[in-house]
Amino acid sequence: MENNSDLLLQVGDAIKDLKTFSEISVLNICLLSGCGIIKDSDDNTVEKIFKHSDGSLHQLFDNTVVLQCIYKKAKPVFLVPTEDNINYGIYMWDYSSFNKSIKVETQCYAILSMLKLAEKYVEIYPHLSQLLIYCSSELYEFLSSFMRDENGLFVDVKNKTKSYDDKINLKINKNNIKLANQLLVFNALLYLTKLYNSEIYKKYSKELNIERYRSEISNIYAFLSNSLDQIISLPSRQLAQYINILSDCIELDEDNERIEDYKDTIALLCDELINRIKANGEVEKGENNFIPVSFYTNIRCANALINGYKSSQIVKFLDFSKKIFEYVLSYYKEDLSLFIKDYDDKISISIRDIAETLKHLEQMYIINKTEKYLDMILNFYNKTVKTSNIMQNDIIVTRDFEQLFENMNVTTKPPVLLRSVRFNNKNILQVKPSKYVNNQYALYSSYIFLNLTEALD
């Protein structure tokens, strides 16, 4: 066992790496990949923003592809230009691999992740900050205009067009309306409104009616306020997701009345979630569904109860979060630094599950200051991220962005968070990352990593 100060430094470095991986992954997916419906080439806002900069990050700006939406899935390999395809930027991905499903979650976590970076870059890369806010607004415009059903609710869609030249043909998925997605759009709008009112972007937003955003926020809030009976009956996984998003809203909203409502709702939903926890700490799927949730959904539920404790200081929420995690810990193999059920032959862990786990371990350390959680964070990170190649990385990842994007010229693959990594239980040294990126998972995980706390002491 290393001393606490050494562990803290190592965990701090691991978290810095996760944040760096996330930044690079978000920039590649959202600004460079072309993995979505591309905005018309006559849009010169990027050029206007870059014109006022000092010329730094020219590789990034010169190759930015403004997207209206982001597709669900792709093989992250750079496009090889031919006479038959249009290459809008040298870092675009091969569009023959694109799954053209467009998820509400993907749009929202792209917005949230970009805005998180925009806040970070406001002093060091102000024009990149402006670019990220602009691209976020484009994603919301598409979400608002094309991803609604006849009742105005946000739904997933799929682009049925065959090539970039075809007219957009969207098919709405009317059977997949999620209340958590409505709240997620609300959350993204809160953040977008906050940043659009900052000085750094006002000169580029004259044509936008910001009051429209505020009106949309009010409409979604009214709908969700009248849907509490349906919300409390959600499956446990979605219930936990709803609690976690509401907790994010508390941090972003400036309306004190709404904030108090969020806290009351979180407490109510946490009480419902507690009713679904079995004696051994395992969570059931729903209020009348006693089948256990998937393994990592337990961790998501434990995270939700920690958020409930943080917003209300109700100790039982923390106690039940610990009870869930005690169940999860019973499957932790210390020598392998993985959670493994005895009957698992091959262990596949998604980047989303990795992010939820690291987030929970960090929260548990912050609350308890117990050294074992530092050990687990470091060991789990080393196993699932650092040595697994789940961060596709054919070049040295550096925090010097100008050097990074210049170095990307020498590879065929962008540095991006892949969907998952597989371990062979019989030979744990056999590690195989997936070949695809699930943009929903990658952006969701990036947003979690970008919100981790570096200074855990």
Q: pLDDT of 78-106, one tens digit each?
A: 998 776 666 788 999 998 999 999 999 99
**d(C-alpha 334, C-alpha 338), whole Å:** 7
Tell me if 315 sits within 8 A of 309, measured CB to CB.
yes
Q: How confident is the model at residue 211 (pLDDT cuts 50, 70, 90)?
A: confident
| H helices, E strands: number in the chain | 17, 14
- Specify the amino acid at residue 421: V
Q: How confident is the model at residue 3 (pLDDT cuts 50, 70, 90)?
A: low
Phi and psi for 389 in degrees, rounded to 5? 65, 25
Tell me if 326 sits within 8 A of 281, measured CB to CB.
yes
Question: Which tens digit of pLDDT belongs to each residue from 141-162?
Answer: 999 999 999 999 999 999 998 7
Q: Provide, rounded to the nearest whole percent, the portion of the chain with pLDDT above 70.
A: 91
H helices present in 28-125, as ranges? 45-51, 58-62, 104-121
Block residue for tokens 């976690």: 244
**d(C-alpha 361, C-alpha 257), whole Å:** 32
SS3 73: strand
The DSSP call for residue 30 is: I
Which pLDDT belongs to residue 84?
A: 64
Which pLDDT belongs to residue 399?
A: 79
Comparing 106 with 165, the larger pLDDT belongs to 106
**d(C-alpha 66, C-alpha 102), whole Å:** 16
Q: How confident is the model at residue 1 (pLDDT cuts 50, 70, 90)?
A: very low
Task: Give Cβ neighbours of residue 279 (< 8 Å, ≥ 6 apart).
Answer: none
Tell me if 304 sits within 8 A of 277, measured CB to CB.
no
Q: Which two tokens stand for residue 366?
A: 């912050």
- Specify the amino acid at residue 280: N
Give the pTM.
0.95
**Span of 196-200, 253-257, 321-325 with lowest mean pLDDT:** 196-200
Tell me if 33 sits within 8 A of 65, measured CB to CB.
yes
Block residue for tokens 């930015």: 64
